[in-house]
Structure 1
Amino acid sequence: MVQASSVLLHVAAISAMAYGYNSLHGLTTVNSWIATQYGGHFQYLTIQGLAVAWLTMAVGLLEDFVPSIKGIRTIKRTLFIAAMPIATIVSSIYWTLLLTFPHLILQALPESRDSPMLLPLRVDLSLHAVPATSLLVDFYVFERKYGRNASLSAVPITVFCTLWYGWWVELCASKNGTFPYPFLTLNPLETRIGIYAGACVVACVSFYGLNALHPKSR
């Protein structure tokens, strides 16, 4: 039986995230500059996390209507292991730095190094708040907590995601001359490696912490 509240959450999340991403292409000044960069919008962890969160919600919507598809639930819960920690880290780091040290998280436009690339609030929320919020609501309202065996996969999945993004962002920076996030540009390789490792640890801890707070056992 289709659960209307679950469908509503998934449709709303999918729509909001798609709106946020598509809106970036309508911000002419910002998009025209990013489009010239190696990796484009996908240099940003925000966009990669958005893609995984969107896919998780899309699979969840498919499960709402056709739960009998073989493996559909396993696919969604596996995606959740990657999507939820990434979205949580992106939201917490982004909003913290935006409110305290915006120059560390916002790039400046090339024609004016003192003018950061601020996004319209509705777009900002779609990119940096909706993924984490929708995933957490889905997890705590419609999902069950992960059992011991399933939760063990969080470490290798998180390590893989960290290695992937660390390699990718370093490659993009080598082509573009700067990193997509100023706090990476301002630090040497050794410090950046420490940042990647620290983010990996925080992602693992956040997953296990969020899972431990879940009241529903498998």
Structure 2
Amino acid sequence: MNLREMACTKHPLQRLASPARSISATVHLLGIASFAASFRWLFKYPSPQQEEFGGSFQFLTIIGLALAFTSMIFGFFADLTLNKTLFRAKNIVSVCSTPLEVLISILYWGISLIDKRLLFPEELQLPLLPDLGFHAMPAFMLVLDLLFFSPPWTIKFQGAVMLSTAIAFAYWAWIEYCFSYNQTYPYPIFTVLSTPQRIMLFVGSGVTCALSTMGLKWLYGKVNGIDKMQREATNPVKLD
């Protein structure tokens, strides 16, 4: 098989060729450029939290951005080398990072509608373009990659719940560990909420992340004409 034929190969249920040195590589490179610009903003305009234990990685936004960046890097180098191992690595990271970025966007813009000061003090709030770069572009680019340049997800609802719950409570454990050093939380909302309310927030976030996984699976089936994926997403308990 020559390089041209390899570049055109794809999973039979995947819409567009990937890995491939064409549209796929362009999309992954755009994602890398966008996420790199967001990380550059962190270094150009440091926040007080960057001097604390955990630094910027106290923020779920930055953890999600790092995972999204990793996914796009794997995807881009898979496109350049036509390496299936790198392509599989991209897809594995994507199963975690894509629902997480959708959750981050839902939480961020939802809470912002209530009171943005629950997320950042007024003096640290972002201009519109960097705000979109941190809290909208990662979800958009990862969903785009999923729908057109990735094979269908095989994760079931039970697996999505377990993964999402693990992510939610791992993040809670991490910020509590950071709090033990810093005596402050990265997001003001954690200070406002009581411990039971924080538990409810993290449980709700885990459920939302699992539902976003199933929603993305349904959307993949809808866009790519795969009825089985839509059935699995809308009837998660019923197994064929």
TM-score, with structure 2 as normaliser: 0.79
Structure 1 consecutive aligned stretches of length 4 or more whose deviation exceeds 6 Å: none
For 1:123, the aligned partner's letter is P
Retained in 1: the 8 A contact 2:47–2:124?
no
* Matched ranges for 1:162-173 at <5 A: 162-173=168-179
Partner of 1:78: 92
Write the distance in 1 (CA, Å) between the matches of 2:114 and 2:199: 23
Give the Å deviation of 1:204: 0.5
Write the distance in 1 (CA, Å) between the matches of 2:158 and 2:148: 22
Residue 141 in 1 paired to residue 148 in 2?
A: yes
Give the Å deviation of 1:125: 1.6
Q: SS of the residue aligned with 2:51?
A: coil
Q: Structure 2: which 5+ runs fail to align? A: 1-6, 8-19, 230-240
Q: SS of the residue aligned with 2:180?
A: helix
Equivalent of residue 112 in structure 2, options 80, 93, 98: 98
Retained in 2: the 8 A contact 1:98–1:105?
yes
| Aligned residues between the structures | 206
Write the distance in 1 (CA, Å) between the matches of 2:47 and 2:119: 19
Partner of 1:112: none
Q: Which has the higher contact order (CA 8 A, sep 6+)?
A: 1
Partner of 2:75: 60
Write the distance in 1 (CA, Å) between the matches of 2:155 and 2:101: 22
Write the distance in 2 (CA, Å) between the matches of 1:100 and 1:32: 23
TM-score, with structure 1 as normaliser: 0.86
Give the Å deviation of 1:80: 1.1
Change (3 A) 1:204 1:32: closer
Aligned residues: percent identity? 29
Q: Which one has the largest radius of gyration?
A: 2
Write the distance in 1 (CA, Å) between the matches of 2:190 and 2:23: 40
Write the distance in 1 (CA, Å) between the matches of 2:155 and 2:64: 25
Equivalent of residue 44 in structure 2, options 26, 51, 54: 26
- Aligned-residue CA RMSD (Å): 2.0
Partner of 1:17: 35
Partner of 1:5: 23
